[in-house]
Amino acid sequence: MKIAVIADPHFHDIDYRQGVGRGDRVAVRTLVDTSASTRVFNESFHATKALLDDIVRRGISLVIVAGDLTDDGQQSTMAAATALLADYSRRFGLRFVATAGNHDLYASHGRHQSKRFLNADGSHTLVTSDPAMAYGDSVERIVSDEMYCGGYGSAIPAMGAYGFFRSEDDRHWECPFGTDDRLEARTFEIASADGRTVRRMVDASFLVEPVDGLWLLSIDANVFEPKDGDLDERLEKSYHDSTDAGWNAMPRNKGFVLDWMKDVAARAKALGKRLVAFSHYPAIDPLNGTSADEAKLLNDTSFLRRTPLPEASKAVAATGIKVHLSGHLHINDTALFRDGDDWLVNIAVPSMVGFPPAYKVLEIGDRRLEVETVVVADVPGHDAAFAHYRVEVAREGTSAAVTEATSHADFLSRHLAEMVRHRYLPKEWPRDLAALVPHVNLGDLERLAETASPLSVTDALPLLASSARMAGDDWRALPFFEMIVDWYRLRKGREVALDFIDPLRIAAYRHLAARFAVGAWPEGCLQDRLASFMRMMMDWLASAPSRDFAVDLATGEVTSRDHLGRTVRRQTGSA
C-alpha cells in the first residue's frame, strides 16, 4: 500500500490576474517579493503539475496534502487549485485527502490579501481585496473580492472533496464531534487568555478509511485564539495567528482533539487498522536538538517561534499516535520523540516551492513503514517567469542571478541564497554578525579559531583586514556568505542538500568545525558564537539520513542507509 504525501504546494495561477481576467495580463508576482519570501510564487504553477505527474507515473493513486494547497487562500486561487486537483482525479483517478494550512483559511471570517503583479514594462500593479490598502510604489491598484482569503465556512467546503466531508465511497468517516459532517455540528468554544472573550470556531479534523484497513487521520492544528478585549470577531487583528502557534497551542485550546486522537489510536490498534496521522504543523522539534545553539547565535527566528515545545510533543505522543506527517516549515526532516513507553515519529515533508523540491512516498506494511524522499528537480516550464523577471531587474537595477538557473531545483537553490541575503541575514541575524559576513572568508574563520583571545566583531575586523588573504581555488578563499547559504541548505534539506553542495566544501566545513570544537572562549564572544554555528552544521551532517528510511511500527526504531550503504539508527529522543 503506497501513499504520496505532498506539503505546501502554495499553488498560484500565473495565467489569471484577479479583477482583470484570464488572457489579459499575466499574474506574475514580482521577483523582489519572491526574493524576500520563504517560498517562490510563480513557479508553483508548473511545479505542482510536475509533482502530480510524477505521482501518476509511479502508479500511486492516494495522495495526502499536508496543508497550504493555495498561495494565500484567495478565492480565485482556491478555485484554480481545486480545479487542478479535480482534473487529476478525473483523468488519472487520484484521491486526495487533506488538512487545511495557515495559508488556506483564516479563522471564521477570513482576511484581506494584497499582492503585487508585474506589468510588461517591469512596473507592478497592486491587486487587493482591501479598499483601504494604499498603492505603495505600485503604478496601479485593482480592488477585487477574488483576492479575499476565506474562513472555515468558505474554505472547507471548497476543499470538501479531500475528506473533509463524508463520501459514499469511504469505508468509514468520523470527526471529533461524531459522525455528523456538517460544519455547524463541528464547532467548539475558544477563549482569550484572560477568559473574557469567547468565540465559536470550527475544527476541521476528520478520520477517513478510503481503502480497507487504512485509517488516515487529518488533524486540524490551526488555532485561532482570540486576543484579549472586546474586538470585532470579523477582523484579522482580533486573533493570534495560527502560523507560529501550531501544536504548542493545541493542549490548551483543543484538548478535545487530543482526547479523540487517543481514542482513534486505541481503536485502530484493536481493529488492526494501519493508522497514519498528519497535520500542517510539526509535532516534534524540527531543529534536531539545535534549538539552544540557534537561540544563542541568532535573533528570534521563525524556526524557533514555530518549534514545538517538549510538552506539546509529549501530549501528542501520549495519544498513542505513532507516525505523524507535517508540512509548514518547507523542510526535509525526520525526528523521534520518546517519553517513557510513549514514542512518536514526525516526518516533515518538503515543499515544491522551497528548497529542496521534494515529496514523500510511504509504503505501509504490517510492522514497518518505508519512506522514500522523491526530489523533483526538473520541472517543464520552470523558467516561465524568467523573461518577466529580467524586465523587472533591468528597471530596478537588481540581480538577475536566479534567471540563470538550469532547473527548478537549481532555481530554488539560488532563491535560497537570495533569501539569505534579503531576509535571513537582515531580519534574523544579530546586526554585528550580519555586518561581518561580507568581509570574511573561510580562511578568516580558520584564523579566528586559532585566536585564543576572545574577540568581538569590532575587534576582529581590523585584525582580519591586516592578515594575508587567500585567493584562487583554495577553500580558504570561499566567502563566509557561501558557507551560510550551505548552512541553510543543510538546515532545510538534511541529506538531500548534499546533492547541491560540493563535497570539497563539506570537507572544509568539517575542518573548520573541528578547529572551533577544540577551542574554549567566554560565552558571547565572536569565536563562541561561531562555534555554535559550526556545531549546528555538524549536527545536521551527523544526524541520521532522512532521504529514505524505515520506521518499525512496534518499537519506533528509525533506520536508514547512509551514502556509504551503512545502516544508521536514529537515537532515542528528539534528535
Domain ranges of the chain: 2-375, 430-542
Residue 484 CA to residue 501 CA, distance in Å, equals 12
Q: CA angle 303-308-311, nearest 5°?
A: 155
Which ranges of the chain have pLDDT less than 70?
Answer: 21-24, 288, 466-473, 544-546, 561-575
Contact status, residue 548 vs residue 561, Cβ threshold 8 Å:
yes
Rounding to the nearest 10 degrees, give the CA dihedral for residues 29, 32, 33, 39: 90
Q: Tell me the C-alpha distance between 215 and 192, whole Å.
A: 34
- Reported residue count of the chain is 575
Ramachandran angles phi, psi of 42, nearest 5°: -65, -35
Cell numbers for 499? 546533492
2-375: which CATH topology?
Purple Acid Phosphatase; chain A, domain 2 (3.60.21)
Q: Where do the H-state alpha helices sit in 211-308?
A: 250-253, 255-271, 291-297, 302-305
Query: HSE (CB half, 13 Å, CA atoms) of 420?
Result: 22
pLDDT of the residue at 564: 43
pLDDT the model gives residue 292: 81
3-state class of 146 per DSSP? helix
3-state secondary structure of 429: coil
- Chain segment 142-179, per-residue pLDDT in tens: 999 999 999 999 999 999 999 999 999 999 999 999 99
Q: How far apart are CA 389 and CA 29, in angstroms?
A: 9
DSSP element (H, E) containing 67: none
In whole angstroms, what is the distance from residue 41 CA to residue 152 CA?
24
> Which residues, at least 6 apart from 372, have a Cβ–Cβ distance to it below 8 Å?
360, 361, 363, 547, 548
pLDDT tens by residue, 293-341: 888 888 778 888 888 999 999 999 999 999 999 999 999 999 999 999 9
Q: List the grid coordinates of 544.
A: 541520521
With left for phi above 0 and alpha for psi between -120 and 50, is residue 42 left, alpha or beta?
Answer: alpha
Set of cell numbers at residue 223: 488555532
Which pTM does this prediction carry? 0.94
pLDDT at 26: 83
DSSP-assigned beta bridge partners for residue 99: 66
- The HSE-up count of residue 211 (CA atoms within 13 Å, CB side) is 13
State the CB neighbour count (10 A cutoff) for residue 211: 16
**H, E, C per residue of 343-361:** EEEEEECCCCCCCCCEEEE
The cell for 478 is 570561499
Q: What is the mean pLDDT of the chain?
A: 92
Among the listed residues 403, 410, 404, 406, the one whose alpha carbon sits nearest the alpha carbon of residue 385: 403
Give the model's pLDDT for residue 32.
93
Per DSSP, the three-state class of 247 is helix
